[in-house]
Amino acid sequence: MTYRLAELTKGRLPKLLEESAPVEAWEAKREKILAEWLGFLGKPPAEGLYEASEGDAGYEVLEEAAEEDHRRLSIRYATRDGDQVTALLLLPLGREGKRPAVLALHPTSPEGKEDVALASGRENRRYGLELVSRGYIVLAPDTITAGERVYPGSEPYQTAPFYEQHPEWTAVGKMLADHIRAVDLLAALPDADASRIGAIGHSLGGYNGWFLAGLDRRVRVVVSSCGFSSFAGDPDPNRWGQRDWFSHFPQLTAMLERGEVPFEWHEIAALALPTPLFLWSGIRDRIFPNWEGIAEAMTELDALYQAEAEPGSFEFWMGPAGHDFPSRARELAYSFLDRHLQPPLCQG
């Protein structure tokens, strides 16, 4: 499935599904894409890290605080590769019955979870805090290298210590294993409805959301803000390769030096299908400036969703904004979450 980067840049985007192709054709292609993706995630240190686990999703409460409309627990829980994740668990007050739950994945901010779950978070980043006010249970974990999970003696988002420990794995594979563990925790909460779990994120958190949905079907809806790009037209495709700070896939750099890429990103996003997917991008995004390539990829993804998923399962919005999650985009995103996670509560 390797592509020549120069060919992608000329607008020759891989087709997700040929016209009039049967359903079986997409299923076969999906298996091929998934195999390529799992291989590119590297070799995890243990079996089953990308699989759901039931019955052992406990956590330790480190601190508790009462807010006007929710309780906030600072927690820590174990991963199945022997690590510890720090997170904030937000529990809405005054809500009866089992609640929908959302995994709120933070962007590339040194503060990690606090950026999305505390009032001190940046403007247009406090989506975890806003969602608990709408009645959602929210889990906001620190990803590796952020918040309380910065490696000793390192700066935030320095992955070199991770690769010293796991030279055959990737930072993306590790993040996904951790996120699947977070879904284990949400699904086991007594007040959470395990059939109504979603994920939301901006930038780093945005693409982690649809990465996760491609592996974990318990995630029933994903919102991604400024979290999609394409190799086509990207002025810095090695953003995904070996760098002197956060290295997603170190092995990609050698491929890029040969003028190759292992896949195009809309193929990986398509692994989430039929999970409802909302994506927002800004045409003035300084991180992902290649909005033409992004729009072309979204057109392909929309066509696949139209053919293979329920109506209303895919939304893509693009507007005159930078690398941001402005209020209007969040309103659209929250409405999308509500439509796919809240309806059972409205039935008489």
Q: Average of pLDDT values for 218-235?
A: 97
pLDDT at 53 over 60: yes
Considering the chain, what percentage of its residues have pLDDT values greater than 90? 91
Number of alpha helices (DSSP H) and beta strands (DSSP E) in the chain: 11, 11
The residues facing 73 across adjacent strands are 64, 89
**Domains of the chain, residue spans:** 3-343
* The predicted structure's pLDDT at residue 343: 58
* The predicted structure's pLDDT at residue 346: 39
* The predicted structure's pLDDT at residue 175: 99
Report d(CA 317, CA 319) in Å as an integer.
7
159-190: pLDDT as tens digits: 999 999 999 999 999 999 999 999 999 999 99
Which H or E run contains 73? strand 70-78
Report d(CA 259, CA 337) in Å as an integer.
39
Report d(CA 184, CA 10) in Å as an integer.
42
Report d(CA 225, CA 317) in Å as an integer.
10
Give the amino acid at 45.
Answer: P
The conformation of residue 175, written as its DSSP 8-state character, comes to: H
Helix (H, G, I), strand (E, B) or coil at 195: strand
- What secondary structure, in 3-state letters, does 197-263 show? EEEEEECHHHHHHHHHHCCCCCEEEEEEECCCCCCCCCCCHHHHCCCCCCCCCCCHHHHHHCCEECC
95-122: pLDDT as tens digits: 788 999 999 999 999 999 999 999 999 9
Please tell me the pTM assigned to this model: 0.95
298-345: pLDDT as tens digits: 999 999 999 999 999 999 999 999 999 999 999 999 999 999 998 544
pLDDT at 49 over 90: yes
12-40: pLDDT as tens digits: 889 998 876 777 889 999 999 999 999 99
Any residues with CB less than 8 A from the CB of 11 and at least 6 apart, and which? 232, 296
Q: Average of pLDDT values for 123-139?
A: 98
Report d(CA 164, CA 175) in Å as an integer.
16
Report d(CA 13, CA 250) in Å as an integer.
24
The rounded mean pLDDT for the chain is 95
* The predicted structure's pLDDT at residue 64: 98
pLDDT category, 57, cuts 50, 70, 90?
confident
pLDDT category, 268, cuts 50, 70, 90?
very high
Superfamily of structural domain 3-343: Alpha/Beta hydrolase fold, catalytic domain (3.40.50.1820)
Q: If we measure between CA atoms, which residue out of 281, 278, 279 comes closest to residue 324?
A: 281
pLDDT at 3 over 80: yes
* The predicted structure's pLDDT at residue 342: 86
* The predicted structure's pLDDT at residue 18: 80
Q: Average of pLDDT values for 37-64?
A: 93
Which H or E run contains 311? none
* The predicted structure's pLDDT at residue 54: 76
* The predicted structure's pLDDT at residue 348: 34
